[in-house]
Amino acid sequence: MESTLLALGREAVILVLVASAPPLLAALAVGLVTGVLQAATQVQEPSLGVVPRLAAVFVALGLAGPWIGARVVRFAAACIDLIPRAAP
């Protein structure tokens, strides 16, 4: 039983990392580009760094949302399947 719970916990951590990767990578890429552009043009307006990153995160979530949702649903189904085995 303990090995099953450890495997479930490991799978949950991996799921969190994989599900958060698309929006984080999009924010990282857009933040890097806007940072370079701001440094090159010496325009230090804070909203010029935040708004494109926010838009990139929403686009990444829109594109990767079905894939992330399918992974979460598969994990939830696996957790629900374990309930009868965990009950005494």
Q: Which pTM was predicted?
A: 0.79
**Cα(10)–Cα(16) distance, rounded to whole angstroms?**
10
The pLDDT of residue 33 is 93
What 3-state class would DSSP assign to 45? coil
The pLDDT of residue 15 is 95
pLDDT in tens, the chain (88 residues): 678 888 889 999 999 999 999 999 999 999 999 989 888 988 888 878 899 999 999 999 999 999 999 999 999 999 898 888 776 6
CB distance 57 to 26 below 8 Å: yes
The pLDDT of residue 77 is 94
CB distance 35 to 52 below 8 Å: no
CB distance 20 to 64 below 8 Å: no
